[in-house]
Structure 1
C-alpha cells in the first residue's frame, strides 16, 4: 500500500472517530430533551438516570459497588444519593447482609419515572426514525452490533 492510501485511511478513521465523538453527546442530550418535553418529565441529569438504571436492573447495591459499577468516585455517588434521596428517587435501606451498612434502592417514584422516560423515548425515536429514508434506517440498524461492541470494549 502506498503512503497516500495509508494517509487516506488514517484521515478517514480519524474523521469517523471525530464525528462519532462529536455526535454522541449531542445525540444523547437531544433524545433526553425531546423525551422530557414530550412527556413533561423532570430534568434528571444523565448521572442520576444511570444510577437509577443500575439500581432498577440490580435491585439494590451498596454505595461502593454502585460507584464501582458506574466507574465513578465514591464521592460522586455520595453526592448523587444525597440529591436523589432528597428528591425521593433513591432510598438507603439497611443491608440485609451487613447490619452496619446500607444499600441503595430505586424508589417506586423513580421506577415509574424511568419507565415513563423509556416509553416516551421509544415513542419519540420511533417517530423520528420513521422520518429517515429506508437506507438511513437500515444503516442505523446495521450499525447496532458494532456500537454494542464498541460500548463493551469501552466499559471493560
Structure 2
C-alpha cells in the first residue's frame, strides 16, 4: 500500500527534475530556443524517420495544425526536413537534418553527463534506491501510455 501523497510527490519531484535539467542545460544550447513540444517532435522524428504530420500529431496527442505549425518552424530553423510522401505527394515525410540530429545528440549527451554527475554525488544507498525505482517508474509510464492509447 502506498502513502496517499505518493502520486503528488512523484509528479512534483519528476516535474521538478525535468525543469531543473532544462534550466541547467539551456545556457549551453546553440541555435534557437525550443519549446518542450518542439523537442518532443524532434525526438519522435529521430526515433521514427519519415513519420508524417498526422501520425506525429496522433503520437504526441496534439492537434494536426499545431504539429504542422511546429514543422514549419523547425524546418525554417534548419532542424527538420520535409519531403513529399511516397504514396501521396500531398502528404509529407519528416526527417531530421544533420543540424537537428546534432542538436538532439548534444542535448542527450549533456543531459546524461549532468544527471550522472549528480547521481554520483549521492551515497551508495540512494544510488541503489534510484536504480531499484527505475523498473517501477517504467511500468508507471507504460500504464499511463496504455491508458492514453486505449481509453
Shared fold per TM-score greater than 0.5: yes
- The residue aligned with 1:66 is 56
Answering whether residue 132 of structure 2 is matched by residue 147 of structure 1, we say no
Deviation at 1:32, TM superposition (A): 1.7
Structure 1 partner of 2:7: 17
May I ask how many residue pairs the two structures share in their alignment?
145
Q: CA deviation at 1:82?
A: 2.1
Offset at residue 103 of structure 1 (A): 1.4
Equivalent residue for 1:3? none
Q: Where do residues 125-136 of structure 1 align in structure 2 (5 Å cutoff)?
A: 125-136=115-126
Give 1 or 2: higher helix fraction: 1
TM-score (norm 1): 0.85
Q: For residue 36 of structure 1, report the CA deviation from its aligned partner.
A: 2.9
SS in structure 1 of the partner of residue 5 of structure 2: helix
User: Matches of residues 61-140 of structure 1 in structure 2 within 5 Å?
Assistant: 61-140=51-130
Distance in 2 of aligned mates of 1:69 and 1:77: 11
| Residue pair 1:41, 1:117 contacting (<8 A) in 2 also | no
CA distance in 2, matches of 1:132, 1:102: 47
Q: Secondary structure at the match of 1:72?
A: coil
Q: 2: CA distance between counterparts of 1:73 and 1:101?
A: 16
Q: Which moved more, 1:134-143 or 1:25-34?
A: 25-34
CA distance in 2: counterparts of 1:139 and 1:28, whole angstroms: 19
Match of 1:54 among 32, 36, 44: 44
Worse-superposed segment, 136-145 or 26-35: 26-35
Deviation at 1:41, TM superposition (A): 4.0
Note closer, same or farther for the CA distance 1:29–1:92 as it changes in structure 2 (3 Å cut): same
- TM-score, with length taken from structure 2: 0.88
> Where does the alignment leave 5 or more consecutive residues of structure 1 unmatched?
1-8
The alpha carbon displacement at 1:40 in A equals: 3.8
Rg larger for: 1
Higher RCO (Cα < 8 Å, 6 or more apart): 1
Q: Contact conserved, 1:94 with 1:102, CA < 8 A, in 2?
A: yes
- Which stretches of structure 1, 4 residues or more, deviate above 4 A after TM superposition? none
User: How big is the shift at 1:78?
Assistant: 1.6
